[in-house]
Chains A and B, each alone.
Chain A
Amino acid sequence: MPETPALSVRNLRVEFPTRRGTLVAVDDVSFDIAPGEVLGIVGESGAGKSLTGTAIIGLLEPPGRVAGGEIVLNGQRIDNLPREAMRHIRGKRIGMVFQDPLTSLNPLYRVGEQIIETIRAHLPMSEREARARAIELLIEVGIQGAERRIDGYPHEFSGGMRQRVVLALALCAEPDLIIADEPTTALDVSIQAQIIQLLKRLCQERGTAVMLITHDMGVIAETANRVAVMYAGRIAEIGPVREVIKSAHHPYTRGLMGSIPSIEGTNDRLTQIPGSMPRLTAIPKGCAFNPRCPHAFDRCRRERPDLMPVDHSLAACWLVAPQSAEARS
């Protein structure tokens, strides 16, 4: 029997009711993350990556709402929990890391105050115990002189150091899942790798599942076990990281990887995908990628492809459908 996934998302749908109709920003998204596994989420800006993460942790800003699907954390369904119960999931069982460590911490409180406050919100500890634990965490995330720096204010830390503090905060109640939304984008290139390595090591040691949202294919290649590629609110392809990077099945993924291999499998020149992702108000009929797809054919404009198994992956493309051989000819 396979172990219970740390996170299981089934047919997640996120909607924004607007005056001119309902926008579907996340549409029928399903994936699992096993304990200790890192799932990378990639896709162009506006694909719905952050909204998926925000929906999982239950922090969608109204009028945005989860309009369908299930979110199951370690066997417990969490998308329909009452407010107060959901609050105890956040920070305790799901930790979050945002893009910009400079703005993630409240400038008016000492770093230690913010960690202790979070620990005590979730674990039955006295101030002293929480402080001791905070220092341990800071040491663990690699803050030199943690006993002293715990009483520093955020502005006294560099960007990389602040992101370490944010990591400590995300980990302070030993969550089952960490959602890291572009955790290194705002950082200096020279320290990005360190932070990613740290994230990966800490989560592996603890068996914490990681949902890693990023634009950086290098980070994905080094860190992730599996990758989900999102396009216009849907998953275009999801599979083991090597397969998705080396021999993607979906034309969009191939474009995203920076090269479009020809049908015979030989790599042509590097090309960017022409055009841009459709806005939510104008998602084309059929496959959302069809206006930009070099392989689009009739069916792509009529019918929307669902995820279909191919090798070790799933891809939402008619090219991988069993009967696609005829379609292509």
Chain B
Amino acid sequence: MLAFTIRRLFEAAIVMLTVALMAFVLFRFVGDPINQMVGQDTSLAEREELRERLGLNDPVLVQFGRFIWNAARYDFGISYQVKRPVTSLIAERFPATFELALTAAFFAILLGIPMGVYTGIHRDSWLSKLFLSVSLIGISLPTFLIGILLIYVFAVQLGVLPSFGRGEVVRIGGWTTGLLTASGLKALILPAITLGLFQMTLVTRLVRSQMLEVLRTDYIKFARARGLGDRAVNFGHALKNTLIPVITIIGLQLGAIIAFAIITETVFQWPGMGLMFIQAVQNADIPVMSAYLLLVAFLFVLINLIVDLLYVWIDPRVRIYGREA
């Protein structure tokens, strides 16, 4: 178990280093940072002096080492655009994205799993067919279209929910939350549905197909033959056996939710990291871009690590494998 964890941590470190390399290459070779930072009238000597001060004349390897070292200490330099440390920009934006992504994920899981179980057990009921048709919409429509549709119906036509922004937020330490005010919660609804709909349908369909498969197995037949009740069979025995692939997908999708938040945040003008990233791209604000890249990659790796550890917790067969490895 320990060896398993250590090996996973090691792999995670490799992935992070690779991403860091990409972020660094981006940082260094996309345009000249000096040009971004100074005005037209800066003299060549001044530019050279700045270049020297920023360490841009050092050997590439030294610069990469410094980049890693700084990133590991959570220091991504100064934004070209707003001339403030990137980390403080992220600190301002992260809570918005985090709350949005988490709400979307909860929406996807809390609705997707029961719908998947229901449609798996009651294959031919009309409600199952309704769920599946709705989920087809979720899969086939692009995110921005869903967002615009929701805005049109609930903000423009019905006027019951806001179409942009976070509403009122409460500041708790360094964290701003929209979860404590009515307007904040209302503002969260449409973006969270938009962001989570695809994942919800994915979870529904995955749980359904897994349930169908598991319900055919011998051990489910045997569980029934032992006289266990429907609840015990469907939830205790069947659902648990569907969890491994479901957790994998949910884990991967959690990363995707954070990454796709870019689109949703743009549609709803949600003041999160995705919107920050889009603005950074428009202004070639490379420190912000590479910080975003590293952060998203870090979240992906972290989630994967958690998923792997969850496997071990759920499936005793992996436990054995992990012990031997």
Contacts and interface: CB of A to CB of B under 8 A. Distances in A.
B320 interface: yes
Contact of B227 (A90, A98, A105, A153): A90
Interface stretch (B10-18, B143-151, B165-173, B214-222): B214-222
B219 A121 contact: no
How many A residues touch the partner, as a band? 20 to 34
A95 B222 CA distance: 10
13 contacts: A59-B225, A88-B227, A90-B224, A95-B225, A98-B221, A100-B218, A103-B217, A104-B219, A107-B316, A117-B236, A121-B228, A166-B222, A173-B227
A87 B229 contact: yes
B229 A106 contact: no
Contact of B219 (A88, A91, A106, A117): A106
A153 B316 contact: yes
Nearest to A99: B218
Contacts of A89: 227
Given A153-B317, A155-B317, A106 B223 contact: yes
Interface of A: 57, 59, 87-92, 95-96, 98, 100, 103-109, 117-118, 121-122, 153, 155, 166, 169, 173
Contacts of B229: 87, 121
Given A98-B221, A103-B217, A153-B317, 11 more contacts: A87-B227, A87-B228, A88-B227, A91-B226, A91-B227, A96-B226, A98-B218, A104-B218, A106-B219, A121-B228, A166-B222
B52 to A, nearest CB: 62
Given A107-B317, A108-B315, A121 B226 contact: yes
A155 B320 contact: yes
B231 to A, nearest CB: 11
Nearest to B316: A153
Contacts of B314: 108
Given A106-B241, A155-B317, A155-B320, A117 B232 contact: yes
B315 A122 contact: no
Contacts of B320: 155
B248 to A, nearest CB: 16
B28 interface: no
B228 A59 contact: no
A90 B226 contact: yes
B316 A96 contact: no
Given A98-B218, A153-B317, A108 B226 contact: no
B227 A108 contact: no
B186 interface: no
Contact of A121 (B232, B237, B316, B317): B232
A103 B228 contact: no
Q: Give the top 10 A-B pairs by smallest Cβ distance, nearest first.
A: A91-B227, A96-B225, A103-B218, A90-B227, A91-B226, A153-B316, A104-B222, A106-B219, A118-B226, A104-B218
A173 B225 CA distance: 13
Contact of B228 (A57, A91, A95, A105): A91
A105 B226 contact: no
A90 B218 contact: no
B228 A96 contact: no
B323 to A, nearest CB: 12
Contacts of A155: 316-317, 320
B84 to A, nearest CB: 51
A96 B226 CA distance: 7
B228 A108 contact: no
Contacts of B8: none
